[in-house]
Structure formats: structure tokens, C-alpha cells
Amino acid sequence: MASFDELPALTAAERLAGLFADTVGADARSVILHGSLSAGDFRAGSSDIDLLIVIEGGLSDAQSTVLERLVRQADIGSAAGIDLHVVTAEIASAPNRTPALELHIGRYDRSSTGFEVERRVAASPDLPVELSMARADGRALKGAPPREVIAPVPADWIVDRGRHWLRAWRSLTDDTENAALMVLTACRIWRFAVENVHCSKAQAARWALDRDPSLTAVRQVVQQYEQDPTVDVGERGIAHLLDTVLQETAPTWRLAGPASVQHSGADNS
């Protein structure tokens, strides 16, 4: 059962899923809700609605325009934004490291990014991570279940892409707006590399602190989320976390594990 905070966002997601499916028509294989609203880590005012549409064939320009309008005009309840990806069934059933993406629409009401649209992206190196998480934790609001339309993504691809972002963020430790995102995502990358498990941001933070209680940046972000939004996240602490995760996720340090994502439902309660 959805919590009081989740219910307005969940209602918005279900309404959008119906509108999206109507826009795409018979070509819509599945509209999948994933991310925090599906994984049990939704936080009113800070979490987005994450949706993935799997379609037969491609989107027309007219369909893309309608989807963009729907996202712009949507009442998103208690969510902070919408993150929509559209991918073909062919790509979802056989992903590669840099698959093509039909459409990405991001609406971020509480971020300086604001609104962004990408159409017909020939190579999207972050899409395999999106597909992997949707397959592991997503649920279909319309159409087929995620595991029927999305194939497993090799774990090494997920970890390698995560390490790419860890290295990029190493020079952005003064980015206060995105400090929490960097810290929590680093924790998720770390846990996935060790255990091949996708988990929520809060679960990843607790896991990282159990593993290394000295990670001050993680502790500060948890305080931000749970107690005081004004808590600062120190640059040195972020740098230390990023360096730690880069070391712990290096190929020679990784624990042996299956080649594809494994997920336990208990990890998203």
C-alpha cells in the first residue's frame, strides 16, 4: 500500500502511464514505473517519477511532441519531477553498451536543469543502467511485466558506467546542488559492484555506513534526508567517498558474482 507521501505521485504516474499508452497506441508494449516510487524510497519534494516506455518500432515526431506536452503539463503530485525514457522493444530485448534511445524527457521542477528533451539518440551509454534498474525493480502500469520486455544487462557494464561517473564527479565535489545525488549514487554503485543488487538510495547509504562508518559525506546526506535539509555536505568527505568507491570497485577488487543483475525483492521493502 502506498504511503501518504507516495499516493499523489503514484496517482500522477498511473494517470501519465495511461496517457502515454494512448499516445503510442498499439505499439506500446509496456509502460514501466521504476526508481524510488517503485522501490519504496520515495521522498515527497525530492524524488522524481521514473517511467520507461517500451515500444514496437519507433516514435513519430508527432508522438514525441505529444509526450513532451504531456510531461510539461502534468500534475505530478508530491514528486519533484519526471524522468521519461522511450526505447524500442528490439533494444530492450537485446541491449548493448551504447544502445539507441528513442526519446528522453526530463522535467526537474526543483533543479536548475529545469526541462530537457533528447530525441533519437544514436548511442546512450547510460541507458543500460536504466534498463537494468527497470527490470529489477520496476512494475508495469500498462502492458507486459518488465522481465518480459527487458533482457538482463551484464553487471560489468553497470559497474563500468558507474566508475565513469565517479571519475567525472571527482572534479565536481564543490557542486552543492548535486552533492546528495553524487553521494547516494556512489553508494548504489558500490553496493551493486560488490553484491550485484540494485537498491534504493537510503538502503545504499545504510549499507555503505555499515561497511565504513567513517564516511562523513554519507552520514551528512542521511542527516539532510531524514533530519535537517540545511546540513552541508563537505567537499573533502565527498572526495573521500568517491576515492573509496573507485578503489573498492576496481576490477581486481570486485567479488566474484553472476554475469547479470541479480535482485532480491527484500532489498526494496
Per-residue pLDDT of the chain (269 residues; tens, 9 = 90+): 456 677 889 999 999 999 999 999 999 999 999 998 888 788 888 889 999 999 999 899 999 999 999 999 999 988 999 999 999 999 999 999 999 999 999 999 877 888 999 999 999 999 999 999 999 999 999 999 999 999 999 999 999 999 999 999 999 999 988 899 999 999 999 999 999 999 988 899 999 999 999 999 999 999 887 778 788 999 999 999 999 999 999 987 554 444 333 333 333 33
Instruction: Map residue 3 onto helix, strand or coil.
Output: coil
What is the model's pLDDT at position 210? 95
CA distance 79 to 46: 7
What is the model's pLDDT at position 253? 54
Using CA atoms, how far residue 114 sits from 66, 79, 92, 94, 133, in Å, is 19, 14, 28, 32, 24
Helix 201-211 to helix 216-226 angle, to the nearest 10 degrees?
140
CA dihedral for 154, 157, 158, 159, sign (positive or negative): positive
CB 126 within 8 A of CB 184: no
